[in-house]
A and B are shown apart, each in its own frame.
Chain A
Amino acid sequence: MAEIYFTKDHEWIKVEDNIGVVGITAYASEQLGDIVFVELPEEGITAEIGKDIAVVESVKAASEVYSPVSGTIIKSNEDLNSTPEIVNEDPIGKGWFYEIKISNNDELSELMSEEEYQKHIGD
């Protein structure tokens, strides 16, 4: 069963074993508005926890996405190249950004549960 975690910067990660799928939250995609481009990380590169790894371009602005965990990028969501708007339509499903092989599962304990995240954005 995959477990989902959240960051205070509005990224989510779904984890199964030591593989994570990362994206941005519905709240973030709504705040950004119409998304027109996503600059995704290349396969094979190393991501560091809390460091910028992708960029979301909405009509309004460019926003950096920080990796929720450290690891190696296994795959990027190529569908976003032709249809970036799926991030607005289905942020936690089809609008995922990349798959990452997590190098240190302990980092997950720093992240928020869904309940904690809902509280975080409710403030």
Chain B
Amino acid sequence: MTEEGSWKQLCCHGDYMSEAYWGLEQNLKTTPLYKIHNDNRAKLVPFAGYHLPIQYENGIIAEHNHTRNSVSIFDVSHMGQIKISGPMIYDAMEKILPISFSKIAPGQIKYTQFLNNEGKIIDDLMICRTFEEDHVWLVVNADCTSKDLDHLYNNLNKAYKIELIEDRALIALQGPNSSNILKTFFQEIDDMPFMTADWFNYNNEKFFISRCGYTGEDGFEISIKDRYAEKFINELLQCEGVKLAGLGARNSLRMEAGLCLYGNDISSSVSPIEAGLTWSIPKERIENGGFIGHEPIKKDLENGVERQLVGIKPMGKLPAREGTQIFDKNEKTIGEITSGGYSPSLQGPIAMGYINSDILKSNCEILLNVRGNLIPAEITSLPFVEHKYFRGNK
């Protein structure tokens, strides 16, 4: 038995049963939670140069359901945390990112993308305008960190300090119960709305806490000094209902939430307009421009795009994974699946993929070519499972 299709991001290719696959190979970095992973019988895999847990002993479905129903901890320390500061930083960042700082209050976070000159996505990221004047805090994809830094150095002059934070773990606490748990440590976080962040103190340690995540649930991302991470996570694990969840559940949760994975659904050959990320670009930035990639993005919006990212629901039970060709009823290729697998919440297969725009208009039937089986499928809107973000007490 060998692995056939895999997540590009979550698994290295090759023999499923090999040592390399299961992360026993050398030269991988560990996160500050490595001991916790081992103590909790994680199955570690090499991911973005780190030993990271794909699952713990309960398995992906149990971890997924626990996150939807209660609260889970994810180690996302592999992600790049970058601090940038300097005079007129907001103006400088607006030349690089399609966002409007005039509409971002201190403490607010925005989802955005680094674009190249062709208007394609170099990486997607979260940017926070912190309460310190002239500072921003970025969280970028692990595999993209070094090219993102290059992009920043190439496009920001020497007056700006670009700092890769290498001494902080990043922990995601996700699920409907996450606020109840975290407020026992930080009372104030209860009222914090989705997409805001601030500094908090606990036991003389400084925590940078953002209310956001990658699961579609209410939750937080917590940046803590490496030296303190293990102790804090063990304290969290003492709280009722808190369990660990791995990269496997993280992937099925984000697919249900219809969130793009860099390397699968978005890449340097995809524009944010094709990927359905137009909502993340303020109208005035489209009109007035002044950021890298503006011209092609504007053209995409004016002329329309040739393909678009959609939700896809295969009929029956067979999962259709990334790389699966999408056919029209005459078996002509009209698109490709970029993320696909099993949805524990819907108890069946779900997928995301690109389909030619003219087909989308005509609303024709589609077939998925899974190893020669032609599976009828339905085009759906995203997300598959409703987002449950905390928008604030009204």
Contact = CB atoms under 8 A, between A and B. Distances in A.
Contact of A33 (B5, B17, B55, B373): B55
Contacts of B16: 31-32, 61, 63
Contact of A61 (B11, B61, B371): B11
A60 B1 contact: no
A34 B61 contact: yes
A62 interface: yes
A11 B252 CA distance: 28
Interface in B183-233: none
B86 interface: no
A61 B248 CA distance: 10
A64 B342 contact: no
Contact of B61 (A24, A56, A59): A59
B2 A61 contact: no
A55 B54 CA distance: 21
17 contacts: A9-B1, A11-B1, A28-B1, A33-B60, A34-B59, A34-B342, A37-B349, A39-B373, A55-B4, A56-B1, A57-B318, A59-B59, A61-B4, A61-B7, A62-B4, A66-B1, A84-B317
B179 to A, nearest CB: 28
Contacts of B252: 59
Contacts of A61: 3-7, 11, 16, 321
Given A31-B16, A37-B318, A59 B342 contact: yes
B319 interface: yes
Interface in A57-82: 57, 59-66, 81
Contacts of A39: 318, 371, 373
Interface residues of B, number: 30
Interface in B76-128: none
Interface residues of A, number: 25
A120 to B, nearest CB: 10
B23 interface: no
A32 B2 CA distance: 10
Interface string A16-57: 000000001000100111101101000000000000000111
B175 interface: no
B341 interface: yes
Contacts of B371: 39, 55
- B2, B7, B344, most chain A CB atoms within 10 A: B2
Contacts of B4: 55, 61-64
Contact of A62 (B3, B10, B22, B59): B3
Contact of A60 (B2, B11, B318, B349): B11
A50 to B, nearest CB: 12
